[in-house]
Amino acid sequence: MRIDGGCHCGFIAYEGEADPETAAICHCTDCQKLSGSAFRTVVPVQDSDFRMTGGKPTIYVKTGDSGNKRQQAFCPQCGSPIFSAAPGDGPKVYMIRVGTIRQRDQFAPKVQVWARSKQHWTNDLAAMRSVEKQP
């Protein structure tokens, strides 16, 4: 389906084509740190389907446990994480951060990866006290 999204401040905007069946949660410790949250939610978008329509993200290249390098793109003005991709030139797959997609409600994750470092309380959210707004 068509998607469009951007960072919180509006500097970064993009559009593309993504399949909700391929949305996923990543519980790896890198994603916990880089999101500042419990996990990350991602969906792949092919190079040919992805178009940046706003500003230029800052790129941070992280080196994984495997030694693989990975570009992490974020907004230089508000910090919103936008995507990760392989470094260098040539066609890529962009792993878009689902929280930045305007249609994010339609991207329910279908798989959880790196479950070995999962924060286990995330299984029990239905039982956790909740308030509609902020107290």
Partner 1 sequence: MRIDGSCHCGYITFEGEADPEKAGICHCTDCQTSTGSAFRTNVPVPGNAFRMLSGEPAIYVKTTAESGNPRAQAFCPKCGTPIYSTTPGDGPKPSYMVRVGTLRQREQFVPKKQNWFRSAQPWLAALADIPKNAKQG
**Torsion, CA 23, CA 110, CA 91, CA 13, rounded to 10:** 0
Partner from partner 1, Zn ion, none binding residue 86, C-beta < 5-8 Å depending on class: none
**Binds partner 1 (CB under 8 A): choice among 3, 43, 94, 118:** 118
Site string for partner 1, 25-64 (x = CB under 8 A): x----x-xxxxxxxxxx----------------x-x-x--
Nearest-CA neighbor of 45 among 83, 13, 80, 89? 83
d(CA 85, CA 63): 12
Q: Which residues of the shown chain bind partner 1 in the complex (CB under 8 A)?
A: 7-9, 24-25, 30, 32-41, 58, 60, 62, 72, 74-82, 97-100, 104-105, 108-116, 118-119, 121-126, 128-135
